[in-house]
Structure 1
Amino acid sequence: MTTSPRVGPPGEPPQYSPLPPEVRRPLPTTVLWRWRYESVAVIGISTCGLLADHAGRLSETALVAAIGAAFIASTPPLRRAVASRVLCIVSAHRVRTGLAHAWVHNRYGRLPAILVTRPTDYGESVTLWCPAGVGQLQVSAAAGVLRDACWGAQHVQVTTDPRRRHLVTVHVVRRAVDDMMHG
């Protein structure tokens, strides 16, 4: 069984306690929350397709969708906006996977919850709600694993909210920006 050091009184050697064998399985509501964007997209596209097919307008609906996709692909600002939102969704999944593989969880096997992922000038900003027993120190120790998990990341920087220590932000840096964090 794998063990981890537990900090004891100053001057005494650390005591070891067993780690949980694996990350705890999420509840069905947690799985739905994690895959909410993909679920809404699949349900929306399926519903539009069924309604268009029922009305006998499937070819017209497909044509409008193709024109919309071509317009987005041919307009650079729209293309960048869509690509950054897609990268936010992908980064949230990759950060969660990196946290699980780096064993960043509490004694009960609970992973930090991803609250929001935002696009930034340098890449993405992923805000985590850490359960008791997990904080910036544990997430910072896993920065290398998180960088490797996030496709194309140059490096990962971890910060915490000064007033709410359980809120930790993982900055996934994909592009160099001068004075990225300003401190």
Structure 2
Amino acid sequence: MTHDNHVPELARQLAPVKRPNPLLRLYHWRYEIFAVTLLPYAVISLVRWLGPIWSVVALVVAFNWIFYWRAARRHLRGRLRAIVVQHRLRSAFAGARICTVDGRRPAILWTRPVDGDVVVSLFCPAGIGFEQIHSRRDLLADACFAAEIYVDRHPKYGALVTLTICTSAFRREPSRAASPGEVVPLRAHS
């Protein structure tokens, strides 16, 4: 075994992870910035439009509607979990040294809740591959408070990777079909 295989990994471990530029940092915190700026503006506009008593009634009705409607509550909980997972993954990529030799981390393209899990689409810059993410999925699962993380590569584009973050400990085997006629694509995780 030669030492040439270990040089990029050693350089990756020694290089500092790049911090995002200010515009990218604003994009990372877009949901929180929205909550701090636009929601108070919306409440003030509602009070001006309906008056203080009717705006309190409207807000109570809206909160009760979300609280008692199970689908809305599940959707809100899933979106909030997806936002938290984005922040946790960015920190986990830096901590697990899932980065290029010059310190660039994978970009989170989209995060969506699906049936209690969170599916994350990643764009990996040159130097980060499926194998690097797959080998450190236990660290990523710990960072996301997840039982398991499945890593799938895109069949056509090598730079696109999908993470399925499972919150429950007991999962059915994803590569097994429910019926013999149902076709399920083979997953690349182990």
Q: TM-score range by the shorter chain?
A: 0.7 to 0.9
Q: What is the root-mean-square deviation in Å for CA atoms of aligned residues?
A: 2.1
Q: Quote the offset at 1:25 in angstroms.
A: 1.2
Question: Counterpart of 1:159?
Answer: 152
Question: Counterpart of 2:58?
Answer: 64
Q: Quote the offset at 1:54 in angstroms.
A: 5.4
- Tell whether 2:5 aligns with 1:12: no
The secondary structure found in structure 2 opposite 1:108 is coil
Q: Distance in 1 between matches of 2:110 and 2:152?
A: 15
Question: Counterpart of 2:127?
Answer: 133
| Bigger share in strand | 1
- Give me the TM-score of the superposition, normalised by structure 2: 0.80
Deviations 1:129-183 (A, max 9, x none): 11110011111121011110112x1111111101111011111011344343542
Question: Counterpart of 2:174?
Answer: 180
Superposed counterparts of 1:18-33, under 5 Å: 18-19=11-12, 20-33=14-27
Question: How many residues are treated as equivalent by the alignment?
Answer: 172
Unaligned 5+ residue runs, structure 1? 1-10
Question: Counterpart of 2:163?
Answer: 170
Question: Counterpart of 2:108?
Answer: 114
- Structure 1 segments, 4+ long, off by >6 Å, are none
Identity of matched residues, %:
29
| Bigger share in helix | 2
Superposed counterparts of 1:36-51, under 5 Å: 36-51=30-45
Q: 2:82 aligns with which of 85, 88, 98?
A: 88
The residue type equivalent to 2:134 in the other structure is: S
Contact kept, 8 Å, 1:154 with 1:174, in 2: the verdict is yes
Cα 1:178–1:33 change in 2 (3 A) is same
Q: Distance in 2 between matches of 1:178 and 1:164?
A: 27
Q: Distance in 2 between matches of 1:106 and 1:21?
A: 9
Cα 1:58–1:39 change in 2 (3 A) is farther
